[in-house]
Each structure stands twice: as structure tokens, then as C-alpha cells.
Homo-oligomer: A and B are copies of this chain.
Amino acid sequence: VSQIRRDALSDSWVICAPQRDARPEEFVEAQLPGPPVLICPFCGGNESATPEATLVIGDPEANDEVTWAVRVVPNRYPAVTDGDRRLEEGTGASRPSHPDLFQVSPLSGGHEVIIESPLHVQSLTDLSERHAAMVFDAYARRLRYWYGQSGIDYVVVFKNVGAAAGASLRHTHSQLVASSMLPPRVAELSQRVKAHYEREKKCLLCQMLADELGEESRIVARTPRFVAYCPFASRLPYLMRVVPLEHQESFESLETAAIGELAALTRRLLRLLESMHSPAAYNYVIQTRPHRTACSNSFHWWLEIFPRLTKTAGFEWGSDCYINPVLPETAAGHLRILSRRIAPRGDRGVQVDFSG
């Protein structure tokens, strides 16, 4: 029997329908190599193929010509550009009788690529824990930079891996979009957690987290400062939310040791996804406090990781209601079992506890 669950954070309802997981598939979607990219623009030595870097984090152990470990550059095909904030031609609404029904605005900001290594590796899990920490440090530094710019209301860091997750290049990288518009759903989220705080004098995510920790069945992994779990009302199968155990408004205010711990935990969680499917297709997104519009007592930052196992189809488009064929408690149990089968790889500076 199906059930619907509500995610109090996003105010979205999801249909949990485990009976759908058994349906036969006549299709197999494969990721084939596309036209050869002769020169990978992200590889060390090809720096001239990208715009000038906005941040370079050096590699103290480098002993040849490539001296950087992580490099941030403007995206050559940006979703958001540093325009002059005037609308150009072609707004598509020349003389509507009802201009309020055809609203259009200029959008400005930036779109950057975080190149995670000068080597042509294809996953964050191919990097050492120390190197992964440098990647997360780059996220924090660029978030601080963009939130310091006037007219920027929203900055989001995300990673797309695999064709099904919207990636277009293989070389391991992440992205950052900074925008003059706060997306309406993010504004609603900020309002919702603020209203909750004013009513309860407690952070909504802190309260939900306390119950998830008490329930235990959906916990995937813990470190001293963080916990990863499959939330009660996950819209996608095997979605994991990683949150700091103590209330904290902004990812970008993390201290160095905490960044290293988060990077190590994320790297371990990605290895779980990679062990489930190869090649893995997944996204992750960092939801940090929008500086100008959310208040620091009520907004608790998080990182969300989700493999792309299902397709949003006609039903989801029509209803904006997702169907999740794997109960989050089943997914978390499966991930904990998987973690025991994965041999350690690379350094183990951070202890990650998968005992649930």
C-alpha cells in the first residue's frame, strides 16, 4: 500500500511506493563516449583553454610544472552572466495586454567551475582525503567571495556526475552559480524555517535531526561533527542529507578541520554510490544560508547527495509530487550493509562510523 510523507523542510509530499520497484525494464540507458574531446580544458597544462582562474589552490607537494591542486574558473557556457542588468532585445513580450502575466527580468551573477584536480580523474573518490578537503575549501572560499558581492542574493554549489545527472564533461569538477535572484522556493524555505523558529524557539532542522537520530533506522554514517541520513520523506531513492550535528547557519563558515571531516565523509558516501552502480550518476548540492534573506538562528545548512536511479516522468511533471520506489529506511539499511563490503582506499584520517 502506498503512503505519502511530507518533508517539513521543503514542504513537499512524496509518494512512497515500494511495490513499483519490481517493475520490469525494457530499456537500459547507457552512457556512451561522445565525440572525442581532444584537449580536456580542465587538465593541467591546458589552462589556456579556460578563462582566467578566479581562485587557485596550490599543491605543496607538486614537483613539476603543474603547481595547482584545485582551480576555479568562470564557466564558458554560463547559466548566469555578469550582465549590465538591462534587458536586451528579445524579451519575448513586446506589447502584452497584461504585462503582469508576462514578467521578465534581467539576471546577473556568475557561474564558475571548480576543477578538482589537474589530473584527468573522473571522481572525487579518486582524490585523497587531503585533496578532497582542498576542493571543499574552494567551495567555502568562493561562497564567501560571492556573498560579499553587492546584488548577489543566492549562491549555490553543486556537482553533476554522469550523463543522467546532467554532466557534460568527465574530468572531475563541481560548479557554483551566484544569482541576483533568490529562487522563489528557496525564499519560501527561508520563510518557513524562520516562522518555525519564531513559533518554537528551535531550529526546524535541529528538531528533525533529533528525531532522526532517535529513530536510528535512516542513519547512514556519522563523524564527530556530522551525520548522513536518508530523510523520512526523501523524494528520490537513496537520497542522503549530510548535516552538522550542532546548529550552524553557513557551510562557508566551517573551520578547516570541519571542512576536512565533511570532505572525507562525502567522499566515503560517494564510494557507496559508486559501488552500487558503475558508472555512477549522481548530484550533490550544498544548501547554505542566503545571506540577505534568511536569519542565522533558523537556517541550518546541509548537503544533499542523490544518485540518479529514477526518471522524473509525466506524473511528476503534472503533479510536482515525486514517487519514491525505495523507502528511506530500506535505502539506509542497504547503504550501511554496503559500507562493510568496501575496502578502505586512500588515507583514513577521518573516522566514519557506519554502524547506524
Contacts and interface: CB of A to CB of B under 8 A. Distances in A.
A105 B4 contact: yes
A285 interface: yes
Name the 4 nearest CB pairs between A and B, nearest first: A158-B314, A166-B313, A23-B77, A166-B311
Interface string A1-35: 11111101001110101011011111111111111
> Most B CB atoms within 10 A — which of A101, A163, A184, A314?
A314
A210 B102 CA distance: 12
B26 A169 contact: yes
Interface stretch (A252-260, A317-325, A336-344, A345-353): A317-325
A148 interface: no
A315 B5 contact: no
Contacts of A79: 2, 15, 17, 20, 315, 323
In this complex, the interface size class of chain A, counting residues with CB under 8 Å from chain B, is 35 or more
Contact of A93 (B168, B215, B287): B215
B211 A98 contact: yes
Tell me the number of copies of this protein: 2
A87 interface: yes
Interface in A30-47: 30-35, 37
B210 A97 contact: yes
Contact of A92 (B5, B311, B323): B5
A139 interface: no
Nearest to A314: B158
Contact of A100 (B8, B158, B287, B314): B8
Interface stretch (A54-62, A63-71, A123-131, A175-183): A175-183
B329 A314 contact: no
A295 interface: no
A329 B92 contact: yes
Contacts of A107: 1-4, 15
Contact of A320 (B90, B181, B185): B185
Contacts of A327: 90, 92
Interface string A196-210: 000000001001101
A283 B318 CA distance: 10
A26 B30 contact: no
A100 to B, nearest CB: 7
Contacts of A328: 92
Contacts of A323: 79
A88 interface: yes
B105 A20 contact: no
A160 interface: yes
Interface string A76-90: 111111011001101
A45 to B, nearest CB: 18
A315 B94 CA distance: 30
A232 interface: yes
